[in-house]
């Protein structure tokens, strides 16, 4: 039966700290081979040896749970509509949609701290005066996770026989870094057998790095269609790949569907997914197939019948949108459709009508 492998990436972190010596040490090469196999076989892996201290993780989780324990009227002060085009802030239980249906969770949307520059999903985060430690905890945690993701993308490039800096130079020189804090409600009443905190889906970008508490509930769909539990393992992160890495590698790596079942007890579930995506301006053109030819031997060309949702990534992305940002804005708008309409109209932005997004022009 398939399972999610546990991979110690301490050698990769040391490799980065030493300036990525060439050729990579043997331990690094072995770790890269393990990552490549995990992403090929199931698209998920646990990371140990990631270098993020327990103090950084505890500071984040403690402050996040203090925030979620606040009365709803307090949290409404920083609701997502208040964040405008930056798409940051709090949403209530059931306020986010996955596969068109409400999730049984509340959350706080965050990202790289910045100023509003006219681009959707860019700008300042929203915080309340209390807990006062949350802004610091979020900034520290996000900084650590960026290092982890940059290191993993270097390893993936090497696994693909590409230059180590390939992804950074072409797709992630200014990556989209998005972060979420989620508080899942327990399924106390068991009103529905199909009571999901988050329904089956794949992520949009390159990498997702998930921090989960000890509640469990994460399930991963293996290549044979069976659902595999991904239970909490202390001091690990769960990493999975998204649609863009599938698209850009011509299906050598495949984004894996996953879902979360709410617990049957009275305890809420906390998780914190960190999304490391291509830059807003990154072009939606896959890696030239000739660069991956050796890897792609025996790998079927991406096709609509091979996706869990029947989607055609080439048709629905490369042939429609020029930039990753346009594709991402379309995707997140489906998660909060009412907010997308209000924000786009109020901002009088170039994306003022939602949908459609700016089409890709051909010559």
Percent of the chain with pLDDT over 70: 88
Range of weakest confidence among 207-216, 315-324, 327-336, 352-361: 352-361
**Cα dihedral sign, 342-345-348-351:** positive
Q: What is the mean pLDDT of the chain?
A: 87
Q: Given this model, what pLDDT does residue 356 score?
A: 40
pLDDT band of 279, cuts 50, 70, 90: very high
- 228 against 103, higher pLDDT: 228
pTM for this structure? 0.90
Residue 63 in this model has a pLDDT that exceeds 60: yes
pLDDT band of 238, cuts 50, 70, 90: very high
Q: Given this model, what pLDDT does residue 249 score?
A: 93
The pLDDT tens digits of the residues spanning 199-224 come to 889 999 999 999 999 988 899 999 88
CATH number for the region 6-311 comes to 2.60.120.330
Q: Given this model, what pLDDT does residue 362 score?
A: 39
DSSP string, 169-196: HHT-SS-EEEEEEEEEPP--S---TT-E
How far is residue 152's CA from residue 11's CA, in Å, rounded to a whole number?
Answer: 11
Residue 290 in this model has a pLDDT that exceeds 50: yes
Q: Given this model, what pLDDT does residue 316 score?
A: 77
How far is residue 322's CA from residue 330's CA, in Å, rounded to a whole number?
Answer: 13
pLDDT band of 320, cuts 50, 70, 90: confident
What is the pLDDT averaged over residues 223-233? 92
Residue 309 in this model has a pLDDT that exceeds 80: no
**Cα dihedral sign, 48-49-51-53:** positive
Q: Which residues of 246-277 are buried (b: 16+ CB within 10 A; e: fewer)?
A: bbbbbbbbbbbbbbbbbbeeeebbbbbbbbbb
pLDDT band of 79, cuts 50, 70, 90: very high
pLDDT band of 344, cuts 50, 70, 90: low
How far is residue 354's CA from residue 87's CA, in Å, rounded to a whole number?
Answer: 15
């Amino acid at each position: 039966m398939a399972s999610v492998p546990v991979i110690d990436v301490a050698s990769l972190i040391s490799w980065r700290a030493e300036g990525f010596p060439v050729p990579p040490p043997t331990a690094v090469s072995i770790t890269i081979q393990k990552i490549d196999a995990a992403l090929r076989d199931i698209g998920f892996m646990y990371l140990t040896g990631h270098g993020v201290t327990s103090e950084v993780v505890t500071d984040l989780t403690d402050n996040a749970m203090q925030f979620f324990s606040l009365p709803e009227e307090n949290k409404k002060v920083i609701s997502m509509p208040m964040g405008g085009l930056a798409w940051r802030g709090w949403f209530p239980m059931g306020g986010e949609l996955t596969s068109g249906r409400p999730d049984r969770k509340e959350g706080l949307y965050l990202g790289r701290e910045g100023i509003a520059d006219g681009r959707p999903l860019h700008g300042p985060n929203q915080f309340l005066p209390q807990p006062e430690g949350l802004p610091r905890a979020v900034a520290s945690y996000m900084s650590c996770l960026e290092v982890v993701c940059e290191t993993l993308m270097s390893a993936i490039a090497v696994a693909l026989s590409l230059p180590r800096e390939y992804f950074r130079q072409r797709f992630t020189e200014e990556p989209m870094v998005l972060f979420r804090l989620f508080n899942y409600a327990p399924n106390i009443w068991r009103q529905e057998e199909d009571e999901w905190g988050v329904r089956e889906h794949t992520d949009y970008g390159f990498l997702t790095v998930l921090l989960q508490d000890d509640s469990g509930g994460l399930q991963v769909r293996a290549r044979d269609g069976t659902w595999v539990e991904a239970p909490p393992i202390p001091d690990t992160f769960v990493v999975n790949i998204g649609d863009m890495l599938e698209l850009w590698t011509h299906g050598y790596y495949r984004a894996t569907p996953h879902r979360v079942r709410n617990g049957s007890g009275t305890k809420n579930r906390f998780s914190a997914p960190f999304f490391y995506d291509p830059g807003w301006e990154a072009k939606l053109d896959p890696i030239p197939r000739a660069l991956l030819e050796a890897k792609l031997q025996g790998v079927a060309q991406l096709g609509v019948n091979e996706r869990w949702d029947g989607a055609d990534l080439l048709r629905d992305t490369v042939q429609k949108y020029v930039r990753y940002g346009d594709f991402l804005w379309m995707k997140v708008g489906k998660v909060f459709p009412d907010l997308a309409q209000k924000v786009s109209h109020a901002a009088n932005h170039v994306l003022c009508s939602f949908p459609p997004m700016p089409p890709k022009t051909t010559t």
